[in-house]
C-alpha cells in the first residue's frame, strides 16, 4: 500500500515538472546566422524582445513608457547627482570663489576660572 502511494506521488510530481518545463520555454527564440565566420543576429527579433510588455504604463499619446524614463525624470538630488541649490547652501558665500566652504571664524577657548582680559 505504501509503495503504491509513493509511486502515485512520484508520477504526479513528474507530471507537474513536465508542465513547468513547457511553460518556461521561450515563445520564439532569436536565431543567429554565421556567415564566413561572422555572426549576424536577427535585429527584428531582438527589437521585439526589448519592447516593453503590453501591460506597461502608457504615455499620453498611447506609446508604452520605458522603466528607465521614470528614473530619468526624477530630480537630481534623488539620484545623488549635482544640485546647484544644495551646493550653494553648503558652500555659503564662498560658492564660485573658493574650494573651501564657508565656516564661522574659530573662537579661542576661554577658561571659566580666569577672568577675561
Name the grid cell of 17. Answer: 515538472
Contact by Cβ (8 Å): 38, 26: no
Residue 113 is assigned to a structural domain of this protein: no
Structural domain includes residue 112: no
Average pLDDT, the chain: 76
Give me the residue label for grid cell 577658561: 111
- Supply the DSSP symbol for 58: B
Number of domains present in the structure of the chain? 1
- pLDDT at res. 29: 75
| pLDDT confidence band for 116 (50 / 70 / 90) | low
Over residues 44-55, the mean pLDDT reads 79
What's the confidence (pLDDT) of residue 46? 83
Between 21 and 69, the higher pLDDT residue:
69
Q: Which set of grid coordinates corresponds to residue 88? A: 550653494
Q: What is the value of pTM for the model shown?
A: 0.32
Beta strand segments in the chain, E: 32-35, 38-41
CA-closest candidate to residue 46, choices 31, 33, 66, 35: 31
Domain that holds residue 75: 29-52+65-93
Query: Is residue 82 in a domain?
Result: yes
Amino acid at each position: 500500500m505504501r509503495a503504491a502511494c509513493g509511486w502515485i506521488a512520484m508520477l504526479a510530481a513528474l507530471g507537474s515538472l513536465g508542465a513547468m518545463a513547457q511553460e518556461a520555454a521561450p515563445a520564439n527564440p532569436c536565431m543567429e546566422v554565421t556567415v564566413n565566420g561572422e555572426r549576424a543576429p536577427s535585429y527584428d527579433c531582438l527589437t521585439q524582445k526589448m519592447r516593453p510588455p503590453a501591460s506597461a504604463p502608457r504615455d499620453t499619446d498611447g506609446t508604452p513608457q520605458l522603466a528607465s524614463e521614470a528614473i530619468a525624470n526624477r530630480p537630481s538630488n534623488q539620484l545623488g547627482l549635482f544640485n546647484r541649490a544644495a551646493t550653494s547652501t553648503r558652500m555659503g558665500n564662498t560658492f564660485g570663489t573658493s574650494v573651501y566652504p564657508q565656516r564661522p571664524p574659530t573662537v579661542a577657548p576661554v577658561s571659566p576660572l580666569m577672568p577675561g582680559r
